[in-house]
Amino acid sequence: MQVTRDTFNQVMVPNYNPAAMVPVRGEGSRVWDQEGIEYIDFAGGIAVNVLGHCHPELVKALAEQGSKLWHLSNVFTNEPALQLAQKLTDATFADKVYFANSGAEANEAALKLARRYALDHFGQEKDQIIAFAKGFHGRTFFTVTVGGQPAYSDGFGPKPGAIVHCEYNNLDALKALVSERTCAIMMEPMQGEGGIIVPDVAFIKGVRALCDEHNALLIFDEVQSGMGRTGKLFDYMNTGVTPDILTSAKSLGGGFPVGAMLTTDKVSASLKPGTHGSTYGGNPLACAIAEKVFDIVNTSEVLEGVLHKEALFREKLHAINEKHHVFSEIRGKGMLLGCALNDKYKGHAKDIMTAATEQGLMCLIAGMDVVRFAPSLIIPDEDIIEGLERFERGIAKFIANAE
């Protein structure tokens, strides 16, 4: 059957507007489309393909588990889920893990757990969830309402209640909001979708202190920042602040859908049998792949490599900017970087992304003012260098068209 980008408009719900080309194959940090045109991938499936495309070890884990056992449901437990949970708890603050299939589902579990924990320990008055403007936590109705972009949550009828938003990186504003009614504060330790915004460590420490003062749980959404992307296994490890609940997805499965919620013994006790669940969560196929991802990512070789690659990106991006004067700032951490457009080019991130794609470079945006890169953590230096040459050609074309 012959399908093209036009087929999308005929048979797909129009909630997405994908690029003009249709990728068909990937290897490492290179991708080929239906025409055989090659691209270098700085998008990484939106911070998912943490080891690039078709990493041989992941293909092997997929094939091995694929010929052994795919699915059971949670009526039975399984070895890959238990092994992955053991490794995640050994490597983090957490004692317990709940598996889901996506970031939104991991966050949905975190929010329901926080509400139930507050009910168990403090009573039903303690139900308020504080989150941050421009935060992103997924698209289920609860998570999208907690997310700080009303445009995403409006227009679907009555929203889940007792959710308030605060300016990010503004501790005084948070102090004014938090009270004994607050059951949890949910935040990304660095905002991804909101524009690659790294808050002050003092702010994160202040959020932790306010949670402690008011018996509120601190939930870190590390769906985008986690699994090695910032050069540490999780970004909380860069900040010295430990959350009560942490969520992971995206890079966790390296391209296979899986999510996880990590928490302490004490907090986890509120998700008693029957309180929450998922048919697929903790599925052996997903967990076997995620376990292999974990084994490869959680090594000094890969984590230190991330910081080296970040330095290379920054050096080349600054050189591009000296020539073309498009960015006001290069920001972010590790392999999650944002190029914020200066006043002259604000609002044009998508045009730059399209121009880059036309030069053979896949990248992302984070809002209309920021071009975002979230490549594989093991992208070869040659691919970074060549990818940024293509990016620069895209920038030059974009500027020529804009003038």
Ligand X SMILES: *Cc1c(COP(=O)(O)O)cnc(C)c1O
Rounded-to-integer distance, Cα 395 and Cα 355, Å = 7
- Known active-site residue 221: yes
* Backbone φ, ψ for residue 164 (5° rounding): -125, 160
* Residue 310 buriedness (CB in 10 A; 0-12 / 13-18 / 19+): buried
- The least distance separating ligand X from the CB of residue 192, rounded to whole angstroms, comes to 4
Residue placing its CB nearer to ligand X in the complex, 29 or 191: 191
- The least distance separating ligand X from the CB of residue 144, rounded to whole angstroms, comes to 9
- Residue among 33, 188, 235, 244 that touches ligand X (CB under 6 A): 188
Beta-strand relationship, 245-248 and 217-221: parallel
- Residue among 28, 44, 192, 243 that touches ligand X (CB under 6 A): 192
- Residue among 126, 137, 208, 316 that touches ligand X (CB under 6 A): 137
- Residue among 44, 80, 138, 228 that touches ligand X (CB under 6 A): 138
Interacting stretch for ligand X, rule CB under 6 A, among 71-79, 198-206, 218-226, 288-296?
A: 218-226
User: Is residue 392 a contact residue for ligand X (CB under 6 A)?
Assistant: no
H or E segment to which residue 394 belongs: helix 381-402
Helix (H/G/I), strand (E/B), else coil: 108 = helix
DSSP string, 150-214: HHHHTTSSSPPSSEEEE-TT-HHHHHHH--TTEEEEEE-SSBSTTTSB---HHHHHHHHHHHHHT
User: Is residue 220 a contact residue for ligand X (CB under 6 A)?
Assistant: no
Helices 284-297 and 300-324: crossing angle in degrees, nearest 10, is: 80
User: Is residue 113 a contact residue for ligand X (CB under 6 A)?
Assistant: no
Q: Which of residues 22-81 bind ligand X (CB under 6 A)?
A: none
Interacting stretch for ligand X, rule CB under 6 A, among 134-142, 275-283, 352-360, 394-402?
A: 134-142
Q: Which of residues 233-252 bind ligand X (CB under 6 A)?
A: 249-250
- The least distance separating ligand X from the CB of residue 34, rounded to whole angstroms, comes to 26
User: Is residue 108 a contact residue for ligand X (CB under 6 A)?
Assistant: no
- The least distance separating ligand X from the CB of residue 366, rounded to whole angstroms, comes to 10
Catalytic pick among 42, 136, 234, 373: 136
Q: Which residues contact 289 (CB under 8 A, 6 or more apart)?
A: 58, 61, 62, 65, 253, 254, 256, 258
Residue placing its CB nearer to ligand X in the complex, 33 or 221: 221
Give the chain's count of helices (H) and strands (E). 15, 15
Q: Which residues contact 144 (CB under 8 A, 6 or more apart)?
A: 104, 137, 138, 152, 153
Rounded-to-integer distance, Cα 363 and Cα 387, Å = 10
- Known active-site residue 383: no
Catalytic pick among 33, 41, 221, 351: 221
- The least distance separating ligand X from the CB of residue 140, rounded to whole angstroms, comes to 8
Residue placing its CB nearer to ligand X in the complex, 148 or 394: 148
Number of residues that bind ligand X (CB under 6 A): 15
Catalytic pick among 134, 250, 316, 333: 250
- Known active-site residue 250: yes
Q: Which residues contact 218 (CB under 8 A, 6 or more apart)?
A: 184, 185, 187, 207, 208, 211, 241, 243, 244, 245
Rounded-to-integer distance, Cα 120 and Cα 127, Å = 11
Q: Which positions are annotated as active-site residues? A: 136, 221, 250
Q: Which residues bind ligand X (CB under 6 A)?
A: 102-104, 107, 136-138, 188, 192-193, 221, 223-224, 249-250
